[in-house]
Amino acid sequence: MKDFHITHICATILSVALVAQSLLFFKDKDKDCSLLSCGKDGKPGQDGDDGPMGEKGEKGDQGLIGERGPEGPPGNPGKKGELGEPGAKGEKGGSPASESLISRVNALELQLEHLQSAVAVQLKALTFSRGTFSGRKIYMTNGVFMNYKEGVQTCTKAGGQLASPQNQAENDAVLALSLENKKSPFLGINDFHVEGTFRYPNGEVISYTNWSPSEPNDQQGNEDCVEMYDDGKWNDKNCHEKQLIICEFF
C-alpha cells in the first residue's frame, strides 16, 4: 500500500515535469503565444456586410484640362439675322490740296458759264439797232410797232421777253429807249388770269409798280396789258393796240 502511494506520487511529479517542459518550449518559440492560443494560422474570415454611406466630402481641386478632342461635323446654318442700323457716313476722301484744286476748278467753270451767258445775251441783243442796259439786263428795240401778242412772239424768238422792269433803275432804262423813239412801249406785264392782279411773263405776281394816278382802271373792261407813258408811269392798255416793242435780255 505504501509502495503504491509512492509510485503514484512519482507519476504525478513526472507529469508535472513534462508539462513544465512543454510550457518552456512554447514560450521560447513565440513570446506572444500561450499554451491555449498558439497554433497554425486559420483560414481567412468572410467579408462583413457593407457599412452605411459616409457624408459627402468637400469638393477637390480642379484637375488638369485634358487634350482637345477631334473636331465635330459642321452644324446646320442659323437663321438670317435682322438688318442692322446704317453706319455713320464716312468722311470725304481726298487731301486738302486736291479739294482746293477741285474748288478752284468749279469756281472757274461757274465763271465760264456766266461769261457764256453774257455773250449769248449780247449776241441776241445785236439783232436790234438800239439799246440800253440796267445791271445785267439789256433792253433793245428796232423801233417797230406791234400789238402785245406780236411783241411777245418777236422777243421770245430773239431769246428774250417783253421789257418787264422790276425796279426803278430798270424802269428808267426802258423809258430812255421809249423817249428816243417818241412812242410809248408795251411792257410784258398783264392781268390775263385774274383781273387786277398783274403778273410778269413767267407768271409771278409783280413786286414793283409805277402806276400813273387812277391807274389801272380797266377802261371799258378790255385793258389787260400795260404801256409806259413818256414820264415813266404805267397805264393799263388794250392789248390789240400797236405800241413800241422793247425786248429784255438777261
- For residue 220, give the DSSP letter: G
Q: How many domains are there within the chain? A: 1
What gap in Å lies between CA 218 and CA 225, rounded to an integer?
9
Q: Which pLDDT score, from 0 to 100, does residue 88 have?
A: 67
Contact between 188 and 201 (Cβ < 8 Å): yes
Range list of β-strands (E), 151-198: 161-162, 186-190
What gap in Å lies between CA 28 and CA 22, rounded to an integer?
10
Identify whether 3 is part of a domain.
Answer: no
Q: Which pLDDT score, from 0 to 100, does residue 218 have?
A: 93
Identify whether 9 is part of a domain.
Answer: no
The grid coordinates listed for 28 are 521560447
Identify whether 63 is part of a domain.
Answer: no
Q: Which pLDDT score, from 0 to 100, does residue 2 have?
A: 45
State the residue range of the domain holding 142.
121-249
Identify whether 41 is part of a domain.
Answer: no
Q: Which pLDDT score, from 0 to 100, does residue 61 have?
A: 73
CATH number at residue 175: 3.10.100.10
Q: What is the pLDDT along the chain (250 residues), one digit of tens a residue?
A: 545 455 555 555 655 555 455 544 444 444 444 433 444 555 666 766 776 777 777 777 776 776 776 776 776 776 777 776 776 665 555 567 677 778 777 887 777 776 666 555 555 555 455 667 788 899 999 999 999 999 999 999 999 999 999 999 999 999 999 999 899 999 999 999 999 999 999 999 999 999 999 999 998 899 999 999 999 999 999 999 999 999 999 8
Q: Which pLDDT score, from 0 to 100, does residue 44 have?
A: 66
Identify whether 28 is part of a domain.
Answer: no
**Helix, strand, coil fractions of the chain, as percent rounded to 5:** 35, 15, 50
163-169 LR contacts (CB < 8 Å, sep 24+): 163/139, 163/187, 163/188, 163/246, 163/247, 163/248, 164/188, 164/189, 164/200, 164/201, 164/248, 165/208, 165/210, 166/200, 166/206, 166/207, 166/208, 167/208, 168/208, 168/210, 169/134, 169/135
pLDDT, averaged across the chain: 78
Identify whether 243 is part of a domain.
Answer: yes
Identify whether 140 is part of a domain.
Answer: yes
Identify whether 39 is part of a domain.
Answer: no
Contact between 163 and 169 (Cβ < 8 Å): no
Q: Which pLDDT score, from 0 to 100, does residue 34 have?
A: 41
Give, in order, the Cα–Cα distances in Å from 158 to each of 37, 145, 212.
Answer: 151, 16, 30
| Strand pairing category for 161-162 and 247-249 | antiparallel
Q: Which pLDDT score, from 0 to 100, does residue 76 have?
A: 75
Q: Which pLDDT score, from 0 to 100, does residue 101 have?
A: 73
Encoded amino acid at 215, one letter: E
Contact between 164 and 226 (Cβ < 8 Å): no
